[in-house]
Structure 1
Amino acid sequence: MTEAEIDAAAQADPDARPMTEAEFSKARRVPRVKTMRRALGLTQEEFAARYHVPLGTLRDWEQGRTEPDQPAKAYLTVIAHDPEGIRRALEKTPLELSRF
Protein backbone atom coordinates (compact mmCIF):
# COMPACT_ATOMS: atom_id res chain seq x y z
CA MET A 1 0.00 0.00 0.00
CA THR A 2 1.14 3.52 -0.63
CA GLU A 3 1.17 6.18 2.07
CA ALA A 4 -1.91 7.76 0.49
CA GLU A 5 -3.79 4.43 0.52
CA ILE A 6 -2.81 3.80 4.15
CA ASP A 7 -3.99 7.29 5.13
CA ALA A 8 -7.27 6.86 3.21
CA ALA A 9 -7.91 3.48 4.85
CA ALA A 10 -7.21 4.89 8.30
CA GLN A 11 -9.48 7.88 7.72
CA ALA A 12 -12.28 5.58 6.53
CA ASP A 13 -12.19 3.40 9.65
CA PRO A 14 -14.37 5.13 12.30
CA ASP A 15 -12.97 2.93 15.06
CA ALA A 16 -9.30 3.53 14.32
CA ARG A 17 -9.00 6.83 12.51
CA PRO A 18 -6.03 9.06 13.35
CA MET A 19 -6.60 11.79 15.93
CA THR A 20 -7.07 15.34 14.73
CA GLU A 21 -4.75 18.05 16.05
CA ALA A 22 -7.59 19.29 18.31
CA GLU A 23 -8.22 15.80 19.70
CA PHE A 24 -4.52 15.21 20.19
CA SER A 25 -4.08 18.48 22.12
CA LYS A 26 -6.94 17.52 24.48
CA ALA A 27 -5.72 13.96 25.04
CA ARG A 28 -4.65 13.07 28.56
CA ARG A 29 -1.00 12.12 28.58
CA VAL A 30 0.13 9.14 30.63
CA PRO A 31 3.45 9.84 32.38
CA ARG A 32 6.23 7.61 31.12
CA VAL A 33 7.06 6.37 34.62
CA LYS A 34 3.56 4.92 34.91
CA THR A 35 3.92 3.17 31.56
CA MET A 36 7.29 1.75 32.60
CA ARG A 37 5.96 0.57 35.97
CA ARG A 38 3.03 -1.17 34.31
CA ALA A 39 5.32 -2.77 31.72
CA LEU A 40 7.33 -4.21 34.61
CA GLY A 41 4.11 -5.59 36.11
CA LEU A 42 4.59 -3.77 39.42
CA THR A 43 2.17 -1.92 41.66
CA GLN A 44 3.12 1.55 42.81
CA GLU A 45 4.09 0.13 46.18
CA GLU A 46 6.25 -2.60 44.64
CA PHE A 47 8.01 -0.21 42.24
CA ALA A 48 8.66 2.32 45.01
CA ALA A 49 10.06 -0.33 47.34
CA ARG A 50 12.14 -2.12 44.70
CA TYR A 51 13.78 1.04 43.33
CA HIS A 52 13.90 3.05 46.56
CA VAL A 53 11.64 5.83 45.30
CA PRO A 54 9.36 7.45 47.90
CA LEU A 55 5.82 6.27 47.23
CA GLY A 56 4.41 9.79 47.42
CA THR A 57 6.95 11.00 44.87
CA LEU A 58 6.08 8.16 42.49
CA ARG A 59 2.38 8.95 42.83
CA ASP A 60 3.03 12.64 42.17
CA TRP A 61 4.95 11.77 39.00
CA GLU A 62 2.29 9.35 37.78
CA GLN A 63 -0.56 11.75 38.43
CA GLY A 64 1.24 14.62 36.74
CA ARG A 65 1.43 16.78 39.86
CA THR A 66 5.20 16.98 39.55
CA GLU A 67 7.86 16.02 37.01
CA PRO A 68 11.00 14.06 37.86
CA ASP A 69 14.05 16.31 38.13
CA GLN A 70 17.14 15.64 36.00
CA PRO A 71 18.79 13.12 38.38
CA ALA A 72 15.47 11.28 38.77
CA LYS A 73 15.01 11.21 34.98
CA ALA A 74 18.49 9.72 34.63
CA TYR A 75 17.70 7.11 37.29
CA LEU A 76 14.41 6.22 35.58
CA THR A 77 16.26 5.88 32.27
CA VAL A 78 18.70 3.43 33.86
CA ILE A 79 15.81 1.45 35.37
CA ALA A 80 14.14 1.31 31.95
CA HIS A 81 17.30 -0.09 30.35
CA ASP A 82 18.16 -2.67 33.03
CA PRO A 83 15.40 -3.11 35.62
CA GLU A 84 16.73 -6.43 36.92
CA GLY A 85 20.31 -5.17 37.18
CA ILE A 86 19.16 -2.18 39.22
CA ARG A 87 17.01 -4.44 41.41
CA ARG A 88 19.98 -6.72 42.09
CA ALA A 89 22.31 -3.80 42.80
CA LEU A 90 19.87 -2.31 45.29
CA GLU A 91 19.49 -5.64 47.09
CA LYS A 92 23.19 -5.70 48.03
CA THR A 93 23.86 -5.69 51.75
CA PRO A 94 25.84 -2.81 53.31
CA LEU A 95 28.80 -5.20 53.78
CA GLU A 96 28.87 -5.95 50.04
CA LEU A 97 28.70 -2.24 49.25
CA SER A 98 31.62 -1.40 51.53
CA ARG A 99 34.00 -2.70 48.84
CA PHE A 100 33.35 0.44 46.81
Structure 2
Amino acid sequence: MSQTESIVRMDAEGRLHRVGPDGAFEPVEVPPVPPMGEAEIVASAAADADNPPITPEDVARLRRVPRTKTLRRALRLTQEEFAARYHIPLGTLRDWEQGRTEPDQPARAYLRVIANDPEGTRRALEKPKG
Protein backbone atom coordinates (compact mmCIF):
# COMPACT_ATOMS: atom_id res chain seq x y z
CA MET A 1 0.00 0.00 0.00
CA SER A 2 1.42 3.35 -0.96
CA GLN A 3 0.78 6.64 0.73
CA THR A 4 -0.33 9.63 -1.26
CA GLU A 5 -0.60 13.21 -0.19
CA SER A 6 -3.89 15.06 -0.63
CA ILE A 7 -4.49 18.77 -0.44
CA VAL A 8 -7.89 19.74 0.86
CA ARG A 9 -9.24 23.29 0.95
CA MET A 10 -12.36 24.77 2.51
CA ASP A 11 -14.51 27.21 0.55
CA ALA A 12 -16.34 30.22 1.95
CA GLU A 13 -19.42 28.12 2.74
CA GLY A 14 -17.39 25.63 4.80
CA ARG A 15 -17.41 22.81 2.22
CA LEU A 16 -14.24 20.77 1.71
CA HIS A 17 -12.69 20.19 -1.72
CA ARG A 18 -9.77 17.97 -2.64
CA VAL A 19 -7.30 19.66 -5.00
CA GLY A 20 -6.26 17.26 -7.75
CA PRO A 21 -2.81 17.14 -9.37
CA ASP A 22 -4.18 19.18 -12.26
CA GLY A 23 -5.53 21.84 -9.87
CA ALA A 24 -9.16 20.78 -10.27
CA PHE A 25 -11.41 20.82 -7.22
CA GLU A 26 -13.33 17.68 -6.24
CA PRO A 27 -15.92 17.85 -3.42
CA VAL A 28 -15.10 15.82 -0.31
CA GLU A 29 -18.11 14.33 1.42
CA VAL A 30 -17.73 14.43 5.19
CA PRO A 31 -20.45 12.73 7.20
CA PRO A 32 -21.87 14.90 9.98
CA VAL A 33 -20.59 14.19 13.48
CA PRO A 34 -23.45 13.01 15.66
CA PRO A 35 -24.05 15.17 18.74
CA MET A 36 -22.64 13.86 22.00
CA GLY A 37 -24.67 13.39 25.15
CA GLU A 38 -23.60 14.79 28.53
CA ALA A 39 -22.04 11.49 29.63
CA GLU A 40 -20.04 11.23 26.40
CA ILE A 41 -18.81 14.80 26.77
CA VAL A 42 -17.65 14.16 30.34
CA ALA A 43 -15.98 10.87 29.36
CA SER A 44 -14.23 12.49 26.41
CA ALA A 45 -12.98 15.39 28.55
CA ALA A 46 -11.76 13.01 31.26
CA ALA A 47 -9.84 10.99 28.66
CA ASP A 48 -7.98 14.08 27.40
CA ALA A 49 -4.70 13.95 29.34
CA ASP A 50 -3.60 17.36 28.02
CA ASN A 51 -6.70 19.22 29.18
CA PRO A 52 -8.57 17.42 31.95
CA PRO A 53 -11.76 18.94 33.33
CA ILE A 54 -11.41 21.19 36.37
CA THR A 55 -12.55 19.55 39.58
CA PRO A 56 -13.95 21.40 42.59
CA GLU A 57 -10.59 20.77 44.31
CA ASP A 58 -8.81 22.47 41.39
CA VAL A 59 -11.14 25.46 41.65
CA ALA A 60 -10.40 25.74 45.39
CA ARG A 61 -6.64 25.96 44.82
CA LEU A 62 -6.74 28.27 41.78
CA ARG A 63 -6.12 31.94 42.39
CA ARG A 64 -8.28 34.39 40.53
CA VAL A 65 -6.58 37.23 38.70
CA PRO A 66 -7.14 40.35 40.78
CA ARG A 67 -9.14 42.99 38.97
CA THR A 68 -6.50 45.57 39.82
CA LYS A 69 -3.95 43.75 37.68
CA THR A 70 -6.46 43.37 34.85
CA LEU A 71 -7.27 47.09 34.98
CA ARG A 72 -3.60 48.08 35.03
CA ARG A 73 -2.77 45.81 32.10
CA ALA A 74 -5.75 47.12 30.11
CA LEU A 75 -4.31 50.61 30.57
CA ARG A 76 -0.89 49.30 29.46
CA LEU A 77 0.84 50.64 32.55
CA THR A 78 3.57 49.15 34.70
CA GLN A 79 2.92 48.81 38.42
CA GLU A 80 5.14 51.84 39.01
CA GLU A 81 3.33 53.95 36.39
CA PHE A 82 -0.15 52.97 37.64
CA ALA A 83 0.79 53.63 41.27
CA ALA A 84 2.31 57.03 40.47
CA ARG A 85 -0.49 58.13 38.11
CA TYR A 86 -3.31 57.28 40.51
CA HIS A 87 -1.52 58.04 43.80
CA ILE A 88 -1.64 54.49 45.14
CA PRO A 89 1.33 53.31 47.22
CA LEU A 90 3.35 50.86 45.13
CA GLY A 91 3.50 48.28 47.94
CA THR A 92 -0.27 48.42 48.33
CA LEU A 93 -0.78 47.90 44.59
CA ARG A 94 1.61 44.94 44.63
CA ASP A 95 -0.17 43.42 47.62
CA TRP A 96 -3.51 43.72 45.80
CA GLU A 97 -2.17 42.21 42.59
CA GLN A 98 -0.42 39.33 44.31
CA GLY A 99 -3.47 38.49 46.42
CA ARG A 100 -1.85 39.22 49.79
CA THR A 101 -4.55 41.77 50.58
CA GLU A 102 -7.83 42.91 49.04
CA PRO A 103 -8.75 46.53 48.36
CA ASP A 104 -11.17 47.85 50.99
CA GLN A 105 -14.53 49.34 49.98
CA PRO A 106 -13.27 52.90 49.31
CA ALA A 107 -10.32 51.53 47.30
CA ARG A 108 -12.67 49.34 45.23
CA ALA A 109 -14.83 52.41 44.54
CA TYR A 110 -11.72 54.35 43.48
CA LEU A 111 -10.65 51.51 41.17
CA ARG A 112 -14.13 51.56 39.59
CA VAL A 113 -13.75 55.30 38.95
CA ILE A 114 -10.36 54.67 37.33
CA ALA A 115 -11.83 51.87 35.19
CA ASN A 116 -14.73 54.05 34.02
CA ASP A 117 -12.67 57.15 33.21
CA PRO A 118 -8.91 56.61 33.46
CA GLU A 119 -7.94 59.86 31.74
CA GLY A 120 -10.45 61.98 33.64
CA THR A 121 -9.23 60.50 36.91
CA ARG A 122 -5.63 61.20 35.93
CA ARG A 123 -6.44 64.81 35.03
CA ALA A 124 -8.37 65.33 38.28
CA LEU A 125 -5.29 64.22 40.25
CA GLU A 126 -2.84 66.51 38.46
CA LYS A 127 -1.65 69.46 40.45
CA PRO A 128 -2.77 72.79 38.99
CA LYS A 129 0.04 74.65 37.34
CA GLY A 130 0.63 78.13 38.53
- For Structure 1 versus Structure 2, the TM-score category normalised by the shorter chain is 0.7 to 0.9
- Quick check: which one's helix share is greater? 1
| 1:8 to 2:41 alignment | yes
User: For 1:65 and 1:17, how far apart are their aligned partners in 2?
Assistant: 29
Runs (5+) with no aligned partner, structure 1: 96-100
| 1:32 to 2:71 alignment | no
**Larger RCO of the pair (alpha carbons < 8 Å, separation 6+):** 1
After superposition, the CA RMSD in angstroms is: 2.8
Aligned position for 1:19:
54
User: For 1:82 and 1:14, how far apart are their aligned partners in 2?
Assistant: 44
Q: Secondary structure at the match of 2:54?
A: coil
* 1:78-100: CA deviation from partner (whole Å, max 9, x where unpaired): 111111111121124176xxxxx
* From 74, 78, 86, the counterpart of 2:113: 78
TM-score for the superposition, normalised by structure 1: 0.73
Work out which of the two has the higher radius of gyration on C-alpha atoms and give 1 or 2.
2
- How many residues are paired up? 93
User: For 1:54 and 1:15, how far apart are their aligned partners in 2?
Assistant: 41
TM-score for the superposition, normalised by structure 2: 0.58
User: For 2:95 and 2:66, how far apart are their aligned partners in 1?
Assistant: 10
1:20 positional shift: 2.1
Aligned position for 2:97:
62
